[in-house]
Chains A and B, each alone.
Chain A
């Protein structure tokens, strides 16, 4: 009797446990959905109803250290990579150049000269940027170098002349539901995509997809193509988190002036 009494609760526990598991399962299904699919009611919006990306954003990923999966190195924390499928599909010639860049990265990464990071590197570089948004455009203001990128959302097209060779590309956006889709073209060949020497030439073409998962998280995706460098287009995805610390703000960082700022206003005697 005593023994059986012992068994009864066990069965109850088992049933309870099973029930809890089922309940948990049921509970996690909607939870997971809420996590990966944005709830349209819960994201900030402009007066015109479009998602409002205004705010200061930054990645927590190790993407800038290396876009591909990598273990820890002296110059990089480990990272699972943000390239869909793992590796960037370089052509054999381009891969050789990337490897050369990699070997010389401690001196030749354009970021060391504080040159404008380019697109998409500025987005996942580990320094904040601020988005200022109006109906007609988004101004992406990078703390690094104080470079300013405008994403036009007023229906204007890329300029007819396509040889400006911009550092950040020419960005024309449109809305697909709550996703901002941006076509970026007309680059120079002076920027890298990461510290490992990932590179491109002037034919770089980036298609970005910006989506708010909730008020404080952006799901940033980009498709990257450049036919003479990559054998096919490839995709990256990274989350950007809103800075919510009290009094957090961008602080001017014209880092390319640091080499000569000792001479001004006048050399200290």
Chain B
């Protein structure tokens, strides 16, 4: 990896540029710690289908929800774009935790050497696994793959081999599905296309029903071919390089994974569930389904360093609107808030 010697000027510029991101990264362990024990004043009431969930805490804390709302696939009666697509453009973010732990999203990272404020309570006090099928919430790894995942999970804190560094810490795209629980993101829609602009990486979804790229072309975000079925965007994802990890728990897939994503939008356009089926017989005994709830963010929400990194536009005399800045990470020398890149680590510096 090429080393970039930074001048003090560059460091200032970089720190300034990444300050919100670095701040958010350092906050992550604190926030997730805070979330591990439900506050007595905010009972984890299960949500009825379609019922609006409680608003997030002030400051846009992560993982404020404990349940996944039920959103059924069906007709779309919300607003549409001139080309007929349901208009789901705008800013969105996850509602349950971040990428610390894939199957116990609010459970922290197993083996985390950082002292906890309080010990974890019973599992049922926290949000469910992102694995909604199998029902035990566990990834159905083949034995060799489970062994590898365990190695990565332990290695995450040891950082003694290059493959233990989470690629995201090196500015790689967060990939699929991690992009959906790694900061807020924006959807832009066009005739024939949907764009996802994530905090780390971007995706072009083609709505043209064309064939996938040749299978020897492997991509961080894969090759995405989608279509609408009522309120549901169905995307077939192929050509994944599977280099992005699913979380800080070492979870991974292989290059032969095939994903079918269903983005099921609620009619009021305020929420959607990401429900994706992963088939990867090289590493898993059976297909599994991942469910990630998301909600819309807008100018009524306060801009924050995680879910809604959207400042108000300079638009004097006009109604408030959000502004979208470039999200470019090519030299994330800030590392991962002392989490992924531990002290004394060499040769694995974040780019």
Are A265 and B254 within 8 A (Cβ)? yes
Distance to closest chain A CB from B294 (angstroms): 20
Question: Helix, strand, loop or mixed for chain A's interface?
Answer: loop
Number of interface residues of A (CB under 8 A): 53
Distance to closest chain A CB from B116 (angstroms): 30
Digitize A232-253: 1 where CB-to-B-CB distance is under 8 Å, 0 elsewhere.
0000000000000001011110
In the complex, A114→B2 CA distance in Å?
11
Determine whether B242 belongs to the interface, using a CB cutoff of 8 Å to chain A. yes
Are A160 and B16 within 8 A (Cβ)? no
Are B188 and A257 within 8 A (Cβ)? no
Determine whether B42 belongs to the interface, using a CB cutoff of 8 Å to chain A. no
Distance to closest chain B CB from A57 (angstroms): 15
What residues of chain A lie closer than 8 Å to B27, measured between beta carbons?
none
Are B252 and A132 within 8 A (Cβ)? no
In the complex, A261→B314 CA distance in Å?
40
In the complex, A267→B161 CA distance in Å?
10
Digitize B197-226: 1 where CB-to-A-CB distance is under 8 Å, 0 elsewhere.
100011010100010010001011100000
Which residue of A has the minimal Cβ distance to B253? Answer: A265
Determine whether A2 belongs to the interface, using a CB cutoff of 8 Å to chain B. no
Q: Which of B165, B167, B197, B318 contacts A148 (CB 8 A)?
A: B197
Distance to closest chain A CB from B244 (angstroms): 8
What residues of chain A lie closer than 8 Å to B30, measured between beta carbons?
none
Digitize A248-269: 1 where CB-to-B-CB distance is under 8 Å, 0 elsewhere.
0111101011011101111100
Digitize A56-82: 1 where CB-to-B-CB distance is under 8 Å, 0 elsewhere.
000000000000000000000000000
What residues of chain A lie closer than 8 Å to B220, measured between beta carbons?
252, 254, 257
Q: Which of B1, B13, B152, B173 contacts A188 (CB 8 A)?
A: B13
Q: Please choose the segment from A4-12, A16-24, A94-102, A149-157 that sits at the chain B interface, where 4 or more of its residues have CB less than 8 A away.
A: A149-157
Are A164 and B323 within 8 A (Cβ)? no
Determine whether B193 belongs to the interface, using a CB cutoff of 8 Å to chain A. yes
Are A133 and B190 within 8 A (Cβ)? yes
Distance to closest chain A CB from B95 (angstroms): 25
In the complex, A152→B318 CA distance in Å?
15
What residues of chain B lie closer than 8 Å to A202, measured between beta carbons?
13
**Residues of chain B from 18 to 73 with CB closer than 8 A to chain A in the complex:** none
Determine whether B344 belongs to the interface, using a CB cutoff of 8 Å to chain A. no
Are B325 and A166 within 8 A (Cβ)? yes
Are B162 and A263 within 8 A (Cβ)? yes
Are B315 and A157 within 8 A (Cβ)? yes
Determine whether B299 belongs to the interface, using a CB cutoff of 8 Å to chain A. no
Q: Please choose the segment from A25-33, A139-147, A192-200 that sits at the chain B interface, where 4 or more of its residues have CB less than 8 A away.
A: A139-147
Are A164 and B325 within 8 A (Cβ)? yes
Are A132 and B1 within 8 A (Cβ)? no
Q: Which of B204, B252, B327 contacts A250 (CB 8 A)?
A: B204
* Residue from the set B167, B190, B221, B330 with the largest chain A CB neighbour count within 10 Å: B330
What residues of chain B lie closer than 8 Å to A179, measured between beta carbons?
none
What residues of chain B lie closer than 8 Å to A134, measured between beta carbons?
188, 190
Are B2 and A132 within 8 A (Cβ)? no
What residues of chain B lie closer than 8 Å to A148, measured between beta carbons?
197, 202, 326-327
Distance to closest chain A CB from B17 (angstroms): 6
Q: Which of B148, B193, B242, B351 contacts A132 (CB 8 A)?
A: B193
In the complex, A160→B188 CA distance in Å?
25
**Residues of chain B from 132 to 191 with CB closer than 8 A to chain A in the complex:** 148, 152, 161-163, 165, 167, 170-173, 188, 190
Q: A115-B330, A256-B351 provided; 4 other pairs, C-beta below 8 A?
A: A156-B314, A250-B204, A251-B217, A266-B163
Would you list 17 pairs from A and B whose C-beta atoms are within 8 A, ordered by A residue? A115-B330, A146-B173, A148-B327, A152-B323, A157-B316, A164-B325, A167-B328, A168-B326, A170-B325, A188-B17, A247-B210, A257-B167, A259-B2, A265-B241, A265-B253, A265-B255, A267-B163
**Top 7 nearest A-B pairs by Cβ distance?**
A264-B243, A263-B163, A156-B313, A252-B219, A157-B314, A263-B162, A259-B1
